[in-house]
Structure 1
């Protein structure tokens, strides 16, 4: 049940931040599996056309609605950036019925099954206007012409979560979900009273270490190489290399801290083994 993973009063703990011109993040506490404090983050982007795109939506609080209205209110795209970041799609779709739902292959079926079971009121079976597959992923215009005018997209189908990664070219901002974490989730828990913040146990601390970009990020490199990319490392490497060729300086992950200014350098460090080819591993 999604209600066990998200804060009961998200309006009291959400951090809304302008990370670049026309790019806003909504950061909230989030416990993965009910025990790992990894945080959650949605991203709102105003396109050159004036339309709005929302990536990995989080709770639609009054403050979030106000920010949407401030940017013009024309929510045209609701994007699930992988098969995990979709819990709040129904909530946003109900509020902005003109928006197109976008997500990777497999997600519409996953949501239909969840909705049919009826045990999670947050998840509906709304139709998707664009489902990204290995066959069609090169055509960003299938999402929308104005969307394609501002965004590049890479479908990392070799990732277990089927990641959709986006470059907002006007702001040089990379938007991703689970391709790269950047724990700890300091901003996402910054409005939670100290006495109510989770106290990570041994497993949670170990996981945080695996998802940290600090120093040489050796634990994360090993996790990405030996676990995340093991099923199809060649395809994973190709996706990472295409992303690394993009022009960005800010990285907005769903979990952990946003990287402003040094995002490209950190990305290259974390994925050095995948970018360097044979012999890059240590």
Structure 2
């Protein structure tokens, strides 16, 4: 069910998803823009309860796939809200040719939300180029897979060893090692990071880590200290 997170932002947990042999929790965010239009970030499985809660907030206007890995539930949301515009992260349209995307996300926010949400493409990564968002009113930065933190015991057996080596289950949130190694264009990545660090971030939302409620800019700087 939707839970309030900050001013005009709600979050919801969905069912776990199995990807490459690993089980991941899922989380989405809903931002209500001026006029009542809803910006749906990384939508999770659409249950009847979730649908009712979302529709109570406003009109579903924008469905956002923030990287090329978060796309599992897009078709069911588009079917439920055919009037909503579907935005793809760089590279996703080629991966999901079965989905008719309306536009690709870039470094500049779309005109429909530019006054309220900024964004930056974290470019230069061979795994995925993630689009990071910043909700101005609540000072919230939103990451998807670039920062992760799984609690002890989430993974077991050989998966637990892989997660430890990959920094997915490090003592505190980190950029997984696979994303660090896959950063082939560090100049582009650093340019994106500088843009993100220029935002006056207090809070940070992530798909696979507990939210950060304060000190967001320092948290981001520490997490990307390797870069």
Q: TM-score range by the shorter chain?
A: 0.7 to 0.9
Distance 1:180 1:90, change over 3 A: same
Distance 1:237 1:23, change over 3 A: same
2:163 maps to which residue? 207
Cα distance in structure 1, aligned partners of 2:73 and 2:213: 26
- Verify the 8 A CA contact 2:146 2:175 in the aligned structure 1: no
Alignment of 1:121-270 (within 5 A): 125-132=98-105, 137-140=106-109, 143=110, 145-159=111-125, 160-184=127-151, 200-208=156-164, 210-212=167-169, 214=171, 220=174, 223=177, 226-229=180-183, 231-270=184-223
Determine helix, strand or coil for the equivalent of 1:273. Answer: coil
Cα distance in structure 1, aligned partners of 2:134 and 2:214: 15
1:101 maps to which residue? 86
What is the TM-score of this pair, normalised by structure 1? 0.72
Larger Rg: 1
Determine helix, strand or coil for the equivalent of 1:211. Answer: coil
1:190 maps to which residue? none
Comparing both chains, which one has the higher relative contact order based on Cα–Cα distances under 8 Å and sequence gaps of 6 or more?
1
Give the total of aligned pairs: 225
C-alpha displacement at 1:99, in angstroms?
A: 0.5
Distance 1:51 1:262, change over 3 A: same
What is the TM-score of this pair, normalised by structure 2? 0.88
Structure 2 residues not aligned, in runs of 5+ = none
Determine helix, strand or coil for the equivalent of 1:259. Answer: coil
Distance 1:35 1:127, change over 3 A: closer
Structure 1 residues not aligned, in runs of 5+ = 1-14, 113-124, 187-196, 275-282
- Verify the 8 A CA contact 2:108 2:120 in the aligned structure 1: no
Tell whether 2:48 aligns with 1:62: yes
Distance 1:212 1:49, change over 3 A: farther
* Greater strand proportion: 2
Q: For residues 74-104 of structure 1, what are the alpha-carbon distances to aligned partners after superposition, in whole Å with 9 as ceiling and x for unaligned?
A: 1110000001101111111111111101012
Q: For residues 12-45 of structure 1, what are the alpha-carbon distances to aligned partners after superposition, in whole Å with 9 as ceiling and x for unaligned?
A: xxx5321112111111343543643431111111
Alignment of 1:69-108 (within 5 A): 69-72=55-58, 74-108=59-93
Determine helix, strand or coil for the equivalent of 2:39. Answer: strand
1:278 maps to which residue? none
Could you say what the CA RMSD is over the residues aligned between the two structures, in angstroms?
A: 2.4
